[in-house]
Amino acid sequence: MSEPKVFLLPDLGEGLTEAELVSWLVAVGDEIRVDQPIAEVETAKSMVEVPSPYAGTVAVLHGEPGQTLDVGKPLISVTPVGAVAAPAKAPEVAETAEDAAAAVYREEEKAGSGNVLIGYGTPGGHGVARRTRPRKSSAAPVVAEPVAQVSAAEKAADDLVLMRTRVPGKLGAVISPLVRRMARDHGVDLGDLQGSGASGLIMRRDVEAVIKPSVAGRAAVAPVETPAAAAVAGTGDTDARTGLGITGRTAVRGVRKAVAANMTRSRSEIPEATVWVDVDATALVELRAALKKADPHHTPGLLAFIARFVTAGLRKFPELNSRLVTTEDTTGGASQEIVVFDGVNLGFAAQTDRGLMVPSVRNADKLSARGLDAEIRRLTAVVRDGKATPAELGSGTFTLNNYGIFGVDGSAAIINHPEVGILGVGRIIDKPWVVNGELAVRKVTELTLTFDHRVCDGGTAGGFLRFVADAIENPGSVLADM
């Protein structure tokens, strides 16, 4: 009898370490092909179809719809083509599965199709599963509980990945980014740890061994219940702190979890400042109306024109199209530098059923207003369908936020970390405005710029904001110069 091959949930890119299993596209007993989609998962970025690197018969489905799975943990077990299925059993999973996932996945690629794109499937191979036995409507998926034990293959893969990153210095080796982040989040000094991996490499289990006792100790000496804890500990359907009934509980995960983490990080790390200005947008509204009358089917939206002005402004004030990067040296010290980009990937906020998403128009500075309009419409449709890729959602260098569609005038927005600026546009409404010394009714909007005060001062921020405002007030002359 042949042992089933275990396919681990692959690295989904962009630092994503977990995904929610939305639905299985196959069932136990199905015959599947290499590269055939086997499951649909939802990450903090988008909806993803995961392809199989193996051909054979589905033996075990490791999870149920609605369950959150970690990268590097078993997703599906497949009995190879022509093999006699062995009784399904729980696979051995490395304690450091997240750290070894990339190397293990590469080995699986060699055994399977060899062309699986991490997190996003491969071209072709979308065959329909053929059943070898009838599916019982009441049957539940076979779910195996993984045993927390290190297999020889996974340990070797883990050691191989980490050995390649060795550098001389205080730590003796560079551990994985996940381990670094875990240590940083819990205040663990990696320099004081003796790694249990090959050649003294520091593994996830080493950091967890330090974290868990400290957490238990704090719980023992601090039994005082906080208001937040009281709310969670409320019995039945009544909140213990307020005495009010609870109408529902929603887990913070997926997009909402990612947004919460990013906004918290932005506010904690970026010393932001905000400047704003009221703008007479009458000329821009009239220009678009004239273009629409001449060509009703190919007229860009107002947001596309403003996006064109923003990219021009960022060329003039490149400090706002940058990123602040912190680097570590071998002695544990840190230094910072401002990295300015050659080109603009313009992000824009789009409200979807899954929450607020910020796709980015790549090389937006090279597009016309019509080109920007087409790409904004395409990306909006993609994110609302949940099909945007991490590259489309995580490559922005500056964000444009049109919150005027919600009927509000202004907002001190939170910067989309790790960018350094975000420009908000309020609703365009009729307001009294002084024109040539006389009062008139004009189309007025408010522009609000929030910027990272570490990369530029108020003069630069004000200059950029004034440039965009002047372009809106005199669009004809500005567009002629572009």
Q: How far apart are CA 150 and CA 262, in angstroms?
A: 33
Q: How far apart are CA 217 and CA 205, in angstroms?
A: 19
Neighbours of 353 (CB within 10 A): 8
Q: How far apart are CA 332 and CA 426, in angstroms?
A: 45
Cβ-contact 286, 339 below 8 angstroms:
no
Alpha-carbon distances, residue 377 vs 373, 382, 393 (angstroms): 6, 9, 15
Residue 126 annotated among the catalytic residues of the structure: no
Which of 126, 186, 297, 453 is an active site residue?
Answer: 453
| Tokens 């006699």 found at | 84
Q: How far apart are CA 448 and CA 430, in angstroms?
A: 19
Q: Is 161 helix (H, G, I), strand (E, B) or coil?
A: helix
b/e per residue 164-192 (b: at least 16 CB within 10 A): eeeeeeebbbbbbebbbebbeeeebebee
Tokens of 171: 């730590």
By CB atoms closer than 10 A (0-12, 13-18, 19+), residue 406 is: exposed
Contacts of 384 (CB under 8 A, 6+ apart): 350, 352, 353
* Cα 233 from chain centroid (whole Å): 31
Known catalytic residues are: 453
